Amino acid sequence: MSRTAFRSLSRAMFLGFVRDRTALFFTLLFPVLFLLLFGSLYKSSTAPRVSVLEVGRVSLLDQAESAAPGQLGKVLAITHTADLQTALADVRKGDYDAAVQQSGRTLVVHYSIADETTAGIVQTVFTSIVQQADATAAGSKGGYQLTAAQVEDKSLKPIQYLAPGLLGWAIASGGTFGAAITLVNWRENKLLRRLRLAPVSVGTVVLARVGVAVAVALAELVVFLAIATTPYFGLRLASYWWMAVPIVICGTLAFMAIGLLVGAFARTQQAATAVANLIILPMAFLGGAFIPLDYAPAWIRDVSYVMPLRYLVTGMQDVMARGEGPVSAVPAIAILLCLAAALTAISVRVFRWDSV
Amino acid sequence: MSATISVRNLRKSYGPKVAVDNVSFEVEQGEFFGILGPNGAGKTTTLEILEGLRKPDGGELSVLGLPPWPRNTALLPRIGVQLQASSFFERLTAREQIRTFASLYQVPSSRADRMLSLVGLDEQAGVKAEKLSGGQAQRLSIACALVHDPELVFMDEPTGALDPQARRNLWDLLRKINADGRTVVLTTHHMDEAETLCDRVAIMDDGKILELGPPAALVRALDTPTRISIQSGLLDAVAAGQLAASADSLPADHIPGGAGSDIGVSDDGVSLTFATREPAVILAELAGRNAVAGLRVQGATLEDVFLQLTGREYRA
């Protein structure tokens, strides 16, 4: 591979991109506008308060309350009751979201999964309370520390869904449209043929194009983080947020591979745009980009598993917002890379240099 | 010393359609070679096979002593291919375009800039390719094809959609390229272009070469009458008829333009036209009678050769 050729091709493609106002708008500005719009719309709405029946005495709740007075009440509305059977009936009917009882060191939480959102919150809140108690028990004296921050950490605020979701959508559409339209345009205007007639390897051309796309995707990441972490939106990045970088790169590869396949079949730019829209738009709704999967109906959550976008979005959410470790990103990265490899292999087989 | 291009019994079909049917020819070093033919004659396919873009179904083929298929990176730097005037990177200026192509051949930017001057695009160097006029874009595309100083240049209908000025301008450029010692192969359906530029032309139709030779030789071989026109009314019909008959020794009852005859005299009210094989006699007589106003003498052109070979019906 020639380095001069690679550099000048990358430069040519990069200039071609930044001088295209429409492309710039749709890849960078449009998703940011979405972020500003949705971010502002949902800013005031916090996670819904969960109503909990305290059956008997649950000392863990008292500990949590005394550790951080007033904080627990922001998340849980606690009602005392004595009878477990009536409490469970109430939960079944949906009058209360959960019933909780403690026997010795075991905390039992009863909840219905009729409303998955609330169920999720119940789970995370109590997991967090137990972890907190465990942590303090292992430590020295009784310095309980249930701060509001730690409780809210787990219950994702809208911006924590929105930023990775919309970023994932931006990267998916940028990669797919970029690859498909470039391929179709270059075939139509015979630039592809011109490159084939030059002593430059196909790998160099592809690598230059992918390099530019990855650079653009990382620029999107930077812009999104810069906006979402402003005090106004208040996104707090978890410690391993930088794992979003490899996820973004792999996501770009996967969605460029989708675009490559679209471009291999589409004959005109209009056709390529239509097909790419047909793929990306439903995926944005079903893959957790526009509708957070935690709040989505069960069927959407089931369908989301076959949406490549799901892995890009949830992978980023896990490391950026949920505070999961770097290893949590590995499955998402592996799935995206496998998809990229498989689709590229198919594209190579159906690739056409010329329209005829 | 083998020929620059040597093609023997070349064949290529697309499904049932035979695009190139047993074609053989050679192009010598430094030659300006034209492939003429109506649309769909197979000239573009022939060119694409020579460039290494398509795989021939059969036949022997060598370009600069090398096989062009499969993609031959030893051959690519030695050939230049001019494509459509739109085969550029999007939104790059003329200078950026040619420098990018130069870098693909490891050619320094300074040479790219010189090529831009050679095709007269110094003033448009900073203009984006999309904004260039048809002729300017065509010249840029030729400059890009020549940036690595190839020995052999292929052009597919280089003056396709240009106005007469731009065409003349481009012809000068093409002559210059050829005068530098490069071999040029072009396809065209402009007969005047082939006649002015080409040392030799191959006339193709239905995938076959029908005729091959220098344009002048092909025209001469056609042996068509010369057409001499003067303004109507300078000569009355009887005198004109007698003159035509005596010059070509026609029988007295000859019907001008009748079946089996392409010589005689006709008058359309604007011009009086003699079609004759003895132009000297007619011209001398007309001069003697001082009937030369609006005189025009037309010999056969390559177009006549072409039409005779390929017929006059419309093509796709």
Residue A138 — pLDDT band, cuts 50, 70, 90? low
Judge if A56 and A13 occupy the same domain: no
Q: Is residue A297 part of a domain?
A: yes
Q: What is the pLDDT of residue A141?
A: 42
Do the strands B296-298 and B226-231 form a parallel or antiparallel pair, or are they unpaired?
Answer: antiparallel
Judge if A310 and A184 occupy the same domain: yes
Q: Are A306 and A234 in contact (CB under 8 A)?
A: no
Judge if A285 and A193 occupy the same domain: yes
Domain boundaries, chain B: 5-214, 225-299
Q: Are A99 and A53 in contact (CB under 8 A)?
A: yes
**A54-109: per-residue pLDDT in tens?**
888 888 788 777 777 777 777 788 888 888 888 888 877 777 888 888 877 777 88
Query: Mean pLDDT throughout A283-308?
Result: 89
Closest-CA distance, A6 to chain B, in angstroms, reads 8
Judge if A121 and A242 occupy the same domain: no
The two structure tokens encoding residue A286: 């079903």
Pick from A114, A137, A154: which residue ends a domain? A154
Model pTM score: 0.73
| pLDDT of A283 strictly over 90 | yes
Pick from A154, A171, A195: which residue ends a domain? A154
Judge if A206 and A323 occupy the same domain: yes
Chain A contacts of B79, Cβ < 8 Å?
197
The ipTM assigned to this model is 0.79
Q: Rounded distance, CA A92 to CA A111, Å?
A: 8
Pick from A154, A181, A198: which residue ends a domain? A154
**Closest to A324 in 3D by CA, of A243, A246, A203, A253:** A243
Chain A contacts of B81, Cβ < 8 Å?
194, 197
- Contact state of A197 with B79 under an 8 Å Cβ cutoff: yes
Range ranked top by mean pLDDT from A10-19, B248-257, B300-309: A10-19
Q: What is the pLDDT of residue A146?
A: 34
Judge if A190 and A290 occupy the same domain: yes
> Please, what CATH class does the domain formed by B5-214 belong to?
alpha beta
Q: Is residue A355 part of a domain?
A: no
Q: Is residue A356 part of a domain?
A: no
Q: Are A251 and A276 in contact (CB under 8 A)?
A: no
**Closest to B95 in 3D by CA, of B70, B74, B115:** B115
Judge if A207 and A329 occupy the same domain: yes
Q: What is the pLDDT of residue A97?
A: 80
Q: Where in chain A does DSSP place strands (E)?
A: 50-55, 76-81, 98-103, 106-111
Q: What is the pLDDT of residue A270?
A: 93
CB under 8 Å to A28, separation ≥6 — which residues?
A: A170, A216, A219, A220, A223
Judge if A20 and A92 occupy the same domain: no
Q: In what order do the strands lie in the sheet with B58-63?
A: B17-27, B5-14, B58-63
Judge if A34 and A108 occupy the same domain: no
A12 closest CB neighbour out of B53, B83, B96:
B96
**B245-277: per-residue pLDDT in tens?**
777 776 555 555 554 456 778 888 888 888 888
Q: Give chain A's domain count.
A: 2
CB under 8 Å to B56, separation ≥6 — which residues?
A: B10, B11, B12, B20, B49, B69
Q: Which CATH number do you get for residue A132?
A: 3.40.190
3-state SS track over B189-230: CCHHHHHHHCCEEEEEECCEEEEEECHHHHHHHHCCCEEEEE
Query: Mean pLDDT throughout B26-42?
Result: 91
Q: Are A183 and A265 in contact (CB under 8 A)?
A: no
Bridge partners (DSSP) listed for residue B282? none
Judge if A58 and A183 occupy the same domain: no
**B135-154: per-residue pLDDT in tens?**
889 889 989 999 999 999 99
Domain extent at residue A323: 3-43+156-350
B87 closest CB neighbour out of A8, A194, A200:
A194
**Closest to B219 in 3D by CA, of B184, B194, B252:** B194
Q: Is residue A311 part of a domain?
A: yes
Judge if A142 and A286 occupy the same domain: no
Chain B contacts of A354, Cβ < 8 Å?
53
Judge if A228 and A178 occupy the same domain: yes
